[in-house]
Structure 1
Amino acid sequence: MKILVIQQKRIGDVLTSTIICNNIKKQFPNYTVDYMCYTNSVDVLIGNPNIDTIIPLSHKVRKNYFSLIKFIFEIRARKYDVVIDVYNKLETNLITMFTGASIKIGYHKWYTTLFYTHNLKRFENSNKPKYGFAIDNRLLLLNPLKLDKNNINPYPKLFVSPKENEETILLFEKHKIDRTKKTVMISLLGSEKNKTYPLEYMVKVVEHVAKYDVTIFFNYFENQIEDAKFIYNSCSISTKEKIYFDLFGTDLRSFVSIMNQCDVIIGNDGGAINMAKALNKPAFTIFSPFVEKNIWATFEDGLRNISVHLNDFKPELFDNLHHDEIKKNHTTMYEYFTPELFIDKIDFFINNNLKNI
């Protein structure tokens, strides 16, 4: 049996959808399972033994009609028996339809019977999530394969090689990191401005974390360095002494390796949080006002994984507001989301997950 899993979009989406591959291989180790994603997310799939072939779809191919047609025919030539389209947009609708697979699985939309043999209705807010809808809805796509539901593992996993671990330990030694102290990764900035906790507020969060006897790392991309510097420069001298600003992941793999050596992560919802959870690290997540917490607050247990959303504290602000309106006014909504609302929850998280500090 040859199976193709398709998940485009962002790092967190691509990583989360690996649970489909992991569970298929767990129960059917002889099946071939390939994975299609955008090139910017390939690194979170490296080392996963449950993926036979990673098929990157580049921006250049996507945006050129003839290149995309050629790509589709190359996929068709692989002769898949099953295609699971997690992305479920027109681009992947077409890829799925032309694969020639006898079983095509996707989410139900009014038009998707044209493309899929199995159209599954997502769990929505009328339901209570089991693991978070981002997980629940991906596991739903396994139903047509009739896997043993008692043998399902819902947890995404990242794989770090011994060489990567060794290089990161040497990096820590180079920066003279005191390994007797607990390490906190701060997910400093979101993937977009509308998913980034206000910088002045994040300064207060960093200052509060620094009250503990910990080592602090910042997660940011090189193109975000000015915002990262603003937060760092706004911190007190005593807090700066605990921050190793120049030790950060310059790419996804280096971030994964560094995160693997950390104890917990605190900060903006996004790929960094999802990667930390896939490394089995406790996570405290600050959600953007327009992101639906029920979807991405995965594996919430009130101990290891805790998240906060403005709606938790000021639900009246969301009365009769459509998602698009909340997104449009995210700056104003964020202003209400002061750190004082949830500082006590950060204390609980740190005390529960960083013992003896």
Structure 2
Amino acid sequence: MKKILIIQQKMIGDVLTSTFLFEAIKKKYPHLQVDYLINAHTYPVVKNNPYIDNIVQLSPEDEKNIFRLLHFAKKNIHGKYDTIIDVYSKIQSNLFTLLSGAKTKVAHYKWYTTRIYNHRVAFISHDKDGTIKDRLRLLEAIFPEPFSANPPRIYLSAEEEQKGREFLTHNGIHPSKKLYMIGVLGSSPGKTYPLPYMAQLIDYVARHTEGEFLFNYIPRQRKEVQQIFQTCSPKTRERIHIDTYAPGLRDFLCVLKHCNAFIGNEGGAVHMAKALNIPTFSIFAPHISKAAWELFPNEKDRAVHPADYKPELFTKKIKKEELYQRFTFDLFEEDLLHFLQSTK
């Protein structure tokens, strides 16, 4: 085994999470070449990672056209690797693996992977730390000894950190001010804490701190963000820089690095904050396993889930939308207060 390609496509949080595999391999086998195949839009979270030898980026144009996709595979994958570790384990990555010509191919067990991979690993992702264990088990299927996992990290240069400071100053946010990044929306409506409750949360943080607020969102989400903003109290609105948002993902990371905490919906932004060593308070959607996705828990990070406060609801047949409506802010406001006190 000399050259390894790890495949993890699509979601930013997944791409970032899987970077711990590179550190795990490189610390034991520094002589191995370990490359990463990702979607191009996720590149900012892996840029400058010292454990990744080469990053193979799949563009939207290549992904959407079957002929370009086949050309991409021939140019970037075929005959270049003796080992494929397919963390993504979906149809597209199956195709890449099939066309790779690699001798060793490992993926998670699915009914359609039988003929492609010679090592298939069953999921255990609903267990505690299951998301991490699932990935580690892919390595342990082909290496002779167990591996340990360190929390993923995002690597910003000194120049990038300075760029983030200058961006904030340019937008009227003084470095001496407490600054909270609020994840006001999830990656989908089903992963988004009810908007009126989120406004209550922001008002609560404003009452208990002297900080200012940035909202993490993209322009197409402006309508929902404006709804939350208008629901907040007038005093809170004075401290929200609603029109201040970074133009790109790497720019966002440069700004996030200077925040005192990230508070909001669980998802990719939470993982990014953790990877920058920023304290996080994350709100899990009812259908997302906290046990599996509260990655690398520690004293400075907190996470809440409806089952933490109303476990009896999960023994009944209740739609996830209704479960979220019953997850009122008062249930966890004391936990949020403890978090705010710990970040002072």
TM-score grouping bracket, smaller chain normalisation: over 0.9
Question: How far apart, in 2, do the equivalents of 1:78 and 1:351 lie?
Answer: 55
Aligned to 1:288: 285
Aligned to 1:264: 261
Task: Give 1:347's aligned amino acid.
Answer: L
Residue 196 (structure 1) aligned with residue 186 (structure 2): no
Aligned to 1:18: 19
TM-score, normalised to structure 1, is 0.90
- Displacement of 1:122 in angstroms is 2.3
> Which of the numbers 330, 334, 337 marks the counterpart of 1:340?
330
Aligned to 1:187: 183
Indicate if the aligned counterparts of 1:184 and 1:216 stay in contact, CA closer than 8 A. yes
Indicate if the aligned counterparts of 1:5 and 1:83 stay in contact, CA closer than 8 A. yes
Residue 115 (structure 1) aligned with residue 116 (structure 2): yes
Aligned to 2:158: 162
Aligned to 1:99: 100
Aligned to 1:225: 222
The Cα offsets for residues 295-354 of structure 1, whole Å up to 9 and x where unpaired, read as 2111224x3121111122222222265xxxx7xx433222111111111110111112x1
Question: How far apart, in 2, do the equivalents of 1:200 and 1:189 lie?
Answer: 12
Residue 243 (structure 1) aligned with residue 244 (structure 2): no
Secondary structure (helix, strand or coil) at the match of 2:141 reads helix
TM-score, normalised to structure 2, is 0.93
Residue 135 (structure 1) aligned with residue 125 (structure 2): no
Residue 299 (structure 1) aligned with residue 304 (structure 2): no
Question: How far apart, in 1, do the equivalents of 2:69 and 2:137 lie?
Answer: 29
Secondary structure (helix, strand or coil) at the match of 1:347 reads helix
- Displacement of 1:42 in angstroms is 1.6
Indicate if the aligned counterparts of 1:97 and 1:115 stay in contact, CA closer than 8 A. yes
User: Structure 1's 172 and 75: CA in aligned 2 closer, same or farther, altered over 3 A?
Assistant: closer
Indicate if the aligned counterparts of 1:182 and 1:214 stay in contact, CA closer than 8 A. yes
Aligned to 1:2: 3
Indicate if the aligned counterparts of 1:215 and 1:243 stay in contact, CA closer than 8 A. yes
Aligned to 1:178: 174
Residue 81 (structure 1) aligned with residue 85 (structure 2): no
Question: How far apart, in 2, do the equivalents of 1:237 and 1:46 lie?
Answer: 40
User: Structure 1's 280 and 145: CA in aligned 2 closer, same or farther, altered over 3 A?
Assistant: farther
Question: How far apart, in 1, do the equivalents of 2:22 and 2:38 lie?
Answer: 13
- Displacement of 1:149 in angstroms is 4.3
Task: Give 1:32's aligned amino acid.
Answer: Q
Secondary structure (helix, strand or coil) at the match of 1:35 reads strand
- Displacement of 1:111 in angstroms is 4.0
Residue 273 (structure 1) aligned with residue 270 (structure 2): yes
Question: How far apart, in 1, do the equivalents of 2:178 and 2:144 lie?
Answer: 40
User: Structure 1's 171 and 68: CA in aligned 2 closer, same or farther, altered over 3 A?
Assistant: closer
Question: How far apart, in 2, do the equivalents of 1:133 and 1:313 lie?
Answer: 22
Aligned to 1:54: 55
Task: Give 1:331's aligned amino acid.
Answer: E
Aligned to 2:340: 350
- Displacement of 1:39 in angstroms is 2.1
Question: How far apart, in 2, do the equivalents of 1:57 and 1:295 lie?
Answer: 28
- Displacement of 1:293 in angstroms is 1.6
Indicate if the aligned counterparts of 2:125 and 2:131 stay in contact, CA closer than 8 A. no
Question: How far apart, in 2, do the equivalents of 1:3 and 1:210 lie?
Answer: 49
Indicate if the aligned counterparts of 2:262 and 2:281 stay in contact, CA closer than 8 A. yes
Question: How far apart, in 2, do the equivalents of 1:213 and 1:119 lie?
Answer: 52
Question: How far apart, in 2, do the equivalents of 1:223 and 1:169 lie?
Answer: 26
- Displacement of 1:200 in angstroms is 0.8
C-alpha RMSD over aligned residues: 1.9
Aligned to 2:70: 69
Secondary structure (helix, strand or coil) at the match of 2:286 reads coil
- Displacement of 1:148 in angstroms is 6.0
Task: Give 1:184's aligned amino acid.
Answer: Y
User: Structure 1's 2 and 319: CA in aligned 2 closer, same or farther, altered over 3 A?
Assistant: same
Indicate if the aligned counterparts of 2:78 and 2:99 stay in contact, CA closer than 8 A. no
Indicate if the aligned counterparts of 1:27 and 1:147 stay in contact, CA closer than 8 A. no
Indicate if the aligned counterparts of 1:188 and 1:220 stay in contact, CA closer than 8 A. yes
Question: How far apart, in 1, do the equivalents of 2:122 and 2:57 lie?
Answer: 27
- Displacement of 1:109 in angstroms is 2.3
Secondary structure (helix, strand or coil) at the match of 2:111 reads coil
Residue 311 (structure 1) aligned with residue 301 (structure 2): no
Task: Give 2:173's aligned amino acid.
Answer: I
Question: Which stretch shifts more, 174-183 or 289-298?
Answer: 174-183
Indicate if the aligned counterparts of 1:135 and 1:154 stay in contact, CA closer than 8 A. no
Indicate if the aligned counterparts of 2:97 and 2:116 stay in contact, CA closer than 8 A. yes
Identity %: 39
Question: How far apart, in 2, do the equivalents of 1:144 and 1:333 lie?
Answer: 39
Secondary structure (helix, strand or coil) at the match of 1:210 reads helix
